[in-house]
Structure formats: C-alpha cells, structure tokens
Amino acid sequence: MTKRKKANVAQSVERRHGKTEVCGSIPHIGSVLSDAHLHSMNDITILTQQFCDYSTFIKGYKLPTIKRYKYAIGFYQRFAQIETLSDVTCSNVRALFVYGRTERGWSANTFINYHKSLTVFFRWCIKNEYIDFDPLQDIELPKLEKRLPAKLTKQDALRLLEIVYNYPYDFQFLRYRNHAIFATFVFAGLRKQELLNLKLTDVDLENLTIFVNQGKGGKDRIVPMSYTLAQTLKRYAEERKRLKKTCPEFFTSLNRNCGFTDSGLKRLKKKMVETSKIKFSIHKLRHTFATLMLEGGCDIYSLSKMLGHSDIKTTTIYLAASAEHLRGQIGKHPLNELSVNGIK
C-alpha cells in the first residue's frame, strides 16, 4: 500500500470511528487528526449547537426552549471560564448553583430551570459518549414555592382595556390593533407566543373560535371567543383589510406588511404599564382570564382545555387564586342555614 493510500485509510478511520490514535506506519498523521477531532468533540460551543440542532429537529422543541438551553449552557461556560468538556467538573457545576442562589438571588423556580437545562445537555453528552459522568447527580433541588398566580382584579382588567383603547394614538389602526391584542389576552387567555403566531385563517369570527396552532408542548387547541371579543377582533380585522395588509399573521405591524413582533409587544406592554400605572406582565393577563372564568362559573375541565393544560392539576391552582369562587363555595356549608346552639 502506498503512503498516499495509507493516509486516506487513516483519515477514513478517523472520520468513522473518532479514534484518538491510528495504528500503522504513519502514526503522526493519525495523531494530528485525532488532536483536531478530539478538540472539536470537546468544544462546548460546538457541542451546544449540535445539541440544540438535535433538540430542534429530532426532539421537536420550540425556539423558546432552545433559547433557554443555550442561555443556561452559555452562562455556566462563562461562569466556570471553560471551553471544553474536559474542564467540566462536579465542583464547578455545584459552584454555579451556589453562586446563583447566594449572589444572583435565584428563586427556587430559576434554580430548577437551570438545573433542567443543564441536565438535558449533559445527559445528551453522556448518551453520545462525550463524557462518562453526570456532573449534576449530587445536586439537590430546592423545594418549589407554592405561590398563587398573580392576576389583575376585575376592575383593573376593565380599566386596562379602557386605557388601551382611549390612548391618544396617531393612527386608528393602532387603537384597534392594540385593543384587540389586550382583549385577546384577557378574554381568551392565550400565551404571548400563541398570540403572535396567530394567522388570519386561525381567527374564525363567524363561528366565534380561535384556532391555536401548535401551542406550548406542540399541541393544537380551539378556544371559543365571546361576542364581546368577536366585536373587538372584527373591528380590527376590518381596519387591517382597509390598510391592505396581506401577510398571513393576524396581528400585523403598522408600517410593514408583516406580523407584530415580540419586541413590539414588549414596547407596547411597557407603554401601557406606564400609562395605566397597573403593574402587569403578559402572562399575568392569562392568569386573569383563568381566574375570572372560574369566578364566572366555568368548570375546571373546560378551563383546562381552553388554557391548553396537559394536566388538569395545573389548572386547579386557579381555584385557590379565586377568592370569589371560594366565597361562593363556602356558602354551601349545610350548617349556614341552621341554628348552632340556639343562636341564629
């Protein structure tokens, strides 16, 4: 065999098997190849991208999940000042979580989210034989606080919608669109990304339904809309048509023929918080929808379907958050109508 053929064989072995050492009469070629290959196998930045590609195209995870993975891995990499997997140790991973709790003030929920993201990444590394140990196996998780979901009162929700509509906009389109956006959050309980992903064909004003295509967890669902919401969306849809918006997204930009963006929604929310003096997040409006639905008499099963919850247990937390609902239930105590010890 010629030297050239031997070199080709060595390269083929390296590509197929990732050997760190190639036997034969030309060890120096195998050594050079193995060093470069080993470095690429260990480089955390490269592996993070491969892991995210796997999570996107094989596992089917959505962009917000991928962003969370990338941020958590990158944060650990910067904190530990490491570049390769060979620098990963149980001690510097543990130090990250200690730092997060003591210096950054992580809540239990934040701690658990970082732990989940890094766990998935390192398990992928183990499965692909990049490392042979789990650096998080001895890290205990804090107890998650059981907090009631933050919500707006009925009065604040109504006042917010009034302020959004009556704000001094320069264009009528902005008035109708912004009011329709906040009304959809309050009257239908959609998540932020679900609203931004709505297509024109997803909003059925004739049959009073909103089709949520591939919401959280990759699930489709149909959310009924009230007559009040339908009127608000119809007014916006007519203005949208008047301005000849032809993009597929239901909620669109004013100046461009494209969908309303996440950054645009953040600016809008900030403006309305400053104007109304009501502190709220977009997700808080979803909590408001759920609580008001229960107070209005909606059953927990129907509400879980409208919210898109996989487990009805997730929805039951709103039972405790609704004082009005609980107040109505306490009136069912059988002794309320009876005298106790002769006292009425």
Mean pLDDT of successive 10-residue stretches along the chain, which has 344 residues: 41 41 45 52 91 95 94 97 95 97 95 97 96 94 84 96 97 98 97 96 97 89 96 98 97 96 97 97 96 91 93 85 72 67 54
Q: Which entry of 114, 269, 318, 325 is annotated as an active-site residue?
A: 318
Rounded to an integer, what distance in angstroms lies between the CA atom of residue 139 and that of residue 112? Answer: 11
pLDDT value for 314: 87
Q: Is 283 tagged catalytic?
A: yes
Domain with CATH 1.10.443.10 in the chain: 154-330
The number of beta carbons lying within 10 Å of the beta carbon of residue 112 is 15
Q: Is 191 tagged catalytic?
A: yes
Rounded to an integer, what distance in angstroms lies between the CA atom of residue 53 and that of residue 66? Answer: 9
Rounded to an integer, what distance in angstroms lies between the CA atom of residue 164 and that of residue 180? Answer: 9
Q: Is 216 tagged catalytic?
A: yes
Q: Which homologous superfamily does the CATH classification assign to the domain defined by 154-330?
A: Intergrase catalytic core (1.10.443.10)
Q: Which entry of 191, 192, 245, 269 is annotated as an active-site residue?
A: 191
Rounded to an integer, what distance in angstroms lies between the CA atom of residue 236 and that of residue 34? Answer: 62
Q: Which entry of 67, 199, 283, 327 is annotated as an active-site residue?
A: 283
Q: Is 37 tagged catalytic?
A: no
Looking at the DSSP assignment, which residues form a beta bridge with residue 209?
204, 224
Assess if CATH 1.20.1280 describes domain 44-127: no
Domain with CATH 1.10.150 in the chain: 44-127
